[in-house]
Amino acid sequence: MILEVKNLSTSFYTRNGIYKAVKNISFSVAKGKTLGIVGESGSGKSVSQYSYLGLIPTPPGKIENGQAMFQGIDLLKLSQKQLQKYRGSKISIIFQDPMTCLNPYLKISTQLIEPLLIHKNMSKKQALILAEKSLEEVGISDYKKRLHAYPHEFSGGMRQRVMIAMALITEPELLIADEPTTALDVTVQAQILELINELQKKKETAVVFITHDLGVISNVADDVAVMYAGEIVEQASAKNLFTNPSHPYTKALLKSIPANHQAGEKLFSISGLPPDLSKEIIGCSFTPRTSHKTPCNNKASWVEIDSNHWVMKCPQCFELGI
């Protein structure tokens, strides 16, 4: 395993209360493998990854407990200065909002070559050659000219490609892809996924792939963790999860895929809203959104229903078939 996260909890202390964004989650990813993380907005997917990279603003954010072992080093025990040796070099991240992540005052070339100058000790000339190649790989036409343009001269999808090029340019050992293909059309999406796949084969890069798109996850992930209300509620291999989903939330997500409906059929949507994370949740957090509206007051726990297939459930929900 290149990354092992154990019992990670992250909270945000605000005037309106303490929001427990991530609650005691554990996961791991091996070299050359992809872990897919899926769930609704606000389920804690991105926060769970930003936490061990030191990207949570403190305050109001606070890492309550946990361990994040990367190549034998606990990232949660490192200072910001120490983490800078890993971020952008051994660990890269593709952020989901390129408009706020690219500096509008700097040319694309300046931002692309920065990690190469800092982490790879390249000359500016060498870095620019590699930067041109990286833009070509992510499908940007006239890349030699566009390399010296400013972010505002690119469309949203083009900026997303620049972010992907920036994350891949140092050939990291761990890549965190935070909804990397959201702003891209289907053709370019396939191209980017193939590019990430090639990097995995070349460098045995481990990938944590965050997305809402279960179709993408089914094609790229080796293992999948389903998050809801700050917790991982189901974790299994991609094959087991899609053929034998057990948690009601996982079943609902799969049921809501448009491709699973007949033409003209009304699309399925999950009723209700996610719970308020500033309030204590007792029992199964998803039960109020199922057909069994009666609140579950039993303490939910991990149950292994198959080899390496874990589900967060309680005895009452098992009896009801939830």
Q: What is the CATH number of the domain that holds 61?
A: 3.40.50.300
Residues 108 and 253 in one domain: no
pLDDT at 126 over 80: yes
pLDDT at 319 over 60: no
Residues 117 and 147 in one domain: yes
Residues 106 and 226 in one domain: no
Residues 244 and 109 in one domain: no
Residues 156 and 179 in one domain: no
Count the domains in the chain: 2
Residue 319: inside a domain, yes or no?
A: no
Residue 242: inside a domain, yes or no?
A: yes
Q: State the pLDDT at residue 34.
A: 92
Residues 105 and 228 in one domain: no
pLDDT at 322 over 60: no
Q: State the pLDDT at residue 28.
A: 92
CA angle (281 as vertex; 227, 225 as ends), nearest 5: 10
Q: State the pLDDT at residue 43.
A: 86
Choose the most confident range, by mean pLDDT, from 6-20, 130-144, 288-302. 6-20
Helix segments in 35-91, DSSP class H? 45-52, 80-83
Residues 167 and 178 in one domain: no
Q: What does DSSP say about strands 34-38 and 206-210: parallel, antiparallel, or unpaired?
A: parallel
Give the range of the structural domain holding residue 142, as residue numbers without chain letter. Answer: 91-171
Cα–Cα separations (whole angstroms), residue 49 to 45, 125, 127, 244, 289: 7, 34, 28, 27, 27
Residues 137 and 226 in one domain: no
Residue 288: inside a domain, yes or no?
A: no
Spatial CA neighbour of 184 closest among 164, 160, 210, 217 = 160
Beta-ladder partners of 228: 231
Q: Name residue 315's amino acid.
A: P
pLDDT at 246 over 80: yes
Q: For the segment 173-200, what is each residue's pLDDT rounded down to a tens digit? A: 899 988 877 766 777 777 778 878 877 8
Residues 59 and 142 in one domain: no
Residue 234: inside a domain, yes or no?
A: yes
Burial group, residue 105, by CB count within 10 angstroms (0-12, 13-18, 19+): exposed
